Amino acid sequence: MGSGRLYTAVAAGGFRRYATYRAATAAGVFTNTAFGIILVYTYLALWDEKPHLGGYDQAQAVTYVWLGQCLYATLAIQGGGFEKDLMARIRTGEIAVDLYRPADLQLWWLASDVGRSLFQLLGRGVVPFVFGAVFFPMALPGEVTTWAAFAVALLLAMVVSFGIRYLAALSAFWLMDGMGVSQAVMITGVFFSGIVLPLNAFPGVLGDIVRVLPWAGQLQMPADVLMGKTDPLGAFAFQAVWAVALLAAGRLLQSAATRRVVVQGG
Amino acid sequence: MGERGTLLEGLRAFRLIAGMWIRSSMTYRTSFVVTMAGNLLMTGMDFVGILLMFSQVDSLGGWSLPEIAFLYGLSATAFGVADLVLGSMDVLGSRIRDGSFDTLLVRPVPVLAQIGADHFAVRRLGRITQGALVLGWALWSVEVDWDPVKVLLVPLMLVSGTVIFSAVFVAGAAFQIYAQDAAEVQNAFTYGGTTLLQYPPTVFGKDFVRGVTFVLPLAFVNWVPACHVLGRAYPLDLPGWAAFAPPLVALVCCALAGLAWRAGLGSYRSTGS
């Protein structure tokens, strides 16, 4: 009973921490909107050249762009969420304090990152999306059930995103310096999540591969659920399988890592 | 005389500070090589995106892949050089927040030189390398009736483009003195700018093109002169001489950015706590 309240409090803390920086949030909204405009024009040109690319019409391609900008910070697609803090704590040894706490390490950071995600969604994601909907033709569903399914897909996407970055953060137990790993998170995240181009539009075998990797659960699945391009239950299953696999791997790695911790001076 | 002295002193200070950061980054050689390779891969992602698009179509906005690669190479290389020289400007906001900006002000060295060379990162050569590779491939594969003027336009575009992007960085730094936390706005103009110039002007809406021609004159980095080289119609039916305007535009941008920077410095108040 108590633990539910604990993790809710941690999530609320994560939410409030990011909510503190209002000017930075406004700046993020501006930047995401600017990039959205640039991308929309390129996508419109691309779909002009090849209508129905990846099974999308123009309005759906436009929707995909603005959803991508909306979820860019929310899902920390190029990294930059909790994992930077966790890596720093591992490097400095502060992780020892975390391990003493009567809370589960993985759940603690998951709660904190979900709090951050929710703030980024509301504070940073909604405005560019609404801007896109006002100024460009978008394909948005009218039924409440579709939006509800989208919300579920989004929540699962947050967990998948966390799972990937948790594994990356734990690597600091062995590597100490997180620079290279952060870079890898960034490159793989940008390429495989479909922020550059919808994964549906990737050619041939490359397309078949990227569509089954965990990153497909981040942007592609919620987008397809929102636009009714896929069966929601199938999308949920795909995301849930990856979420569970990644969390389990994180747990395994965590137990291996914590056996290695040697606190300074001990 | 005095102005020139300040300029030389600034360049000398820049060289010394940058040299210090280079030596410090060379201490961890493996880390340096890895981050530079990562930088090259990361900045190449834009071009991979374009290649993915061209795996599905033969032209975008009526432009072929080599032509777009030409735009891309010019934009990425010019931006890369500006980013190498002044890209560290985005730490200015945090320096103002934690008060360490004051230290820079009391040193007998031009502040702009100190801020530009702050955290000078050689790994940014990754972006320049990647841009230059794409440009090299574009020059080799694009179909152009080269004449001396067109050949000269290429280095002219690179130099002017670098200066224009540098002016944007300086103006962005001046903006950060007012905005502090809102440093990310700058990214919309710097990274956003180089991204949009990687695509042909025909892709974008007319008002949008007007904005990046007359308000923030990024169009002169590559769009207008490249249209001349490729023998294409100029965006917005600009007159013929517009292709040779980039040096002039760069000069005006510098003057305006300089004014903005002075105004920003003049209005600086320390953290106060």
pLDDT at A260 over 80: no
- Please tell me the distance in Å from B156's CA to the nearest CA on chain A: 26
Structure tokens at B39: 């930088």
Residues of A in contact with B31 (CB under 8 A): 177, 179-180
pLDDT of residue B50: 94
**In whole angstroms, how far apart are CA B168 and each of A114, B6, B130, B250?**
36, 22, 22, 10
Put simply, the answer to whether A46 touches B185 (Cβ < 8 Å) is: no
pTM given for the model: 0.91
User: A192 with A216: CB under 8 angstroms?
Assistant: yes
Report the gap between the CA of B241 and the closest CA in chain A (Å): 27
Mean pLDDT of B143-164: 94
Q: Which of A38, A46, A179 comes nearest B192 by C-beta? A: A38
Q: Which whole number is the average pLDDT over A86-94?
A: 89
| pLDDT value of residue B218 | 94
Determine the distance in angstroms separating the CA of A54 from the nearest CA of chain B, rounded to an integer: 10
Instruction: Give residue limits of the domains in chain A.
Output: 2-258
Q: Is the pLDDT of residue B214 over 50?
A: yes
Model confidence at A263, pLDDT cuts 50, 70, 90, reads: low
* Nearest CA distance, B49 vs chain A (angstrom): 6
Give yes or no for residue B273 having a pLDDT over 60. Answer: no
- Kindly state the average pLDDT of the residues A139-159: 95
- Dihedral, CA atoms, A83, A89, A90, A95, nearest 10 degrees? -120
- pLDDT category of residue B102 using cuts at 50, 70 and 90: confident
What are the chain A neighbours of B183 within 8 Å (beta carbons)? 24, 27
Q: Is A117 exposed, middle or buried (0-12, 13-18, 19+ CB in 10 A)?
A: buried
Which of A45, A49, A180 is facing B34, going by the closest CB pair? Answer: A180
Q: Which of B176, B183, B169 is nearest to B83 (CA)?
A: B169
- B194 pLDDT higher than 60: yes
Written as six digits, the tokens of A80 are 């930059």
Does B192 contact A at CB distance below 8 Å? yes
pLDDT given for residue B224 in this prediction: 95
Q: Do B52 and A31 touch (CB under 8 A)?
A: no
- pLDDT, tens digit, for every residue of A207-255? 999 999 999 999 999 999 999 999 999 999 999 999 999 999 999 999 9
**Sign of torsion, CA A82 A83 A88 A93?**
positive
pLDDT at position A108 is 94
Residue A211, φ and ψ in degrees, nearest 5: -75, -10
- pLDDT tens digits, one per residue of B223-245: 999 999 999 999 988 998 999 99
| Alpha carbon of B184: minimum distance to chain A alpha carbons (Å) | 5
> Which residue is closest to B61 within chain A, CA to CA?
A45
CB B158 within 8 A of CB B70: no
Taking an 8 Å cut-off on Cβ atoms, the answer to whether A42 and B184 are in contact is no
B208/A41 CB distance under 8 A: yes
- For chains A and B, CB pairs below 8 A equal 101
Please report the residues numbered 194 through 223 in chain B whose beta carbons come closer than 8 angstroms to any beta carbon of chain A: 195-196, 199, 202-205, 208
pLDDT band at B257, cuts 50/70/90?
very high
In this complex, is the C-beta atom of A261 within 8 Å of any C-beta atom belonging to chain B? no
Task: Name the nearest CA neighbour of B171 among B244, B73, B262, B76.
Answer: B262
CA distance A84 to A88: 6
Of A22, A191, A202, the CB nearest to B45: A191
Check CB contact of A196 with chain B, cutoff 8 Å. yes
B236 in Cβ contact with B95 (< 8 Å): no
Q: Give dist(CA A44, CA B61) in Å, integer.
A: 9
8 Å CB contact of B183 and A27: yes
pLDDT digits (tens, 9 = 90+) for B54-79: 999 999 999 999 999 999 999 999 99
Give the whole-angstrom CA distance, residue B256 versus residue B263.
11
pLDDT score of A126? 96
What are the chain B neighbours of A41 within 8 Å (beta carbons)?
199, 203-205, 208
Q: Dihedral angle at the C-alpha atoms of A84, B25, B88, B252, nearest 10 degrees?
A: -150
CA-based nearest residue in chain B for residue A175: B31
- Residue A193: strand, helix, or coil: coil
Whether residue A265 has pLDDT greater than 70 = no
Residue B1 has pLDDT above 50, yes or no: no
Q: Scan residues 73-102 of A and list those with Cβ closer than 8 Å to B.
A: none
How many Cβ atoms from other residues are within 10 Å of residue A234's Cβ?
12
Give the pLDDT band of residue B162 (cuts 50, 70, 90): very high
pLDDT given at position A64: 97
**A180 shares contact with chain B (CB less than 8 Å):** yes
Q: What is the mean pLDDT of residues B168-173?
A: 92
Q: Where are the domains of chain B?
A: 2-266
Distance, CA of B67 to CA of B231 (rounded, Å): 11
Residues 38 to 67 of B: which have CB under 8 A from any A CB?
38-39, 41-42, 45-46, 48-49, 52-53, 55-61
Q: Are residues A157 and A223 in contact, defined by beta-carbon separation less than 8 angstroms? A: no
Q: Does B271 have pLDDT greater than 80?
A: no
CB-based contact, B94 to chain A, within 8 Å = no
Q: Which residue of B has its CA nearest to A206?
A: B52
Judged by a CB distance cut-off of 8 A, whether residue A176 touches chain B is: no
Q: Hey, are the CB atoms on B53 and A37 less than 8 Å from each other?
A: no
Mean pLDDT is lowest, of A1-15, A120-134, A231-245, B240-254, for: A1-15
Shortest distance, CA A5 to any CA of chain B (angstroms): 32
- Inform me whether the pLDDT recorded for A159 exceeds 80: yes
Stretch B249-257: mean pLDDT: 95
The pLDDT > 90 percentage for chain A reads 78
Q: Which residues of B touch A180 (CB under 8 A)?
A: 31, 34-35, 38
pLDDT at residue A177 in the model: 78
CB atoms within 10 A of CB B78: 27
CB contact under 8 A, A27 and B184: yes
Q: Do B59 and A27 touch (CB under 8 A)?
A: no
Catalogue the long-range contacts made by B93-97 (C-beta closer than 8 Å, 24 or more residues apart).
B93/B176, B93/B179, B93/B180, B93/B181, B93/B182, B93/B183, B94/B183, B96/B176, B96/B177, B96/B180, B96/B268, B96/B271, B97/B180, B97/B181, B97/B271
Reference A189, options B123, B127, B56, B41; nearest CA is: B41
> Cβ contact (<8 Å) for A28 and B184?
yes
Residue B151 confidence (pLDDT) above 90: yes
Distance (Å) from the C-alpha of residue B180 to the closest C-alpha of chain A?
A: 8
Over residues A96-123, the pLDDT tens digits come to 888 888 889 999 999 999 999 999 999 9
User: Quick one: closest CA in B to A207, which residue?
Assistant: B52
The reported pLDDT for the residue numbered A266 is 43
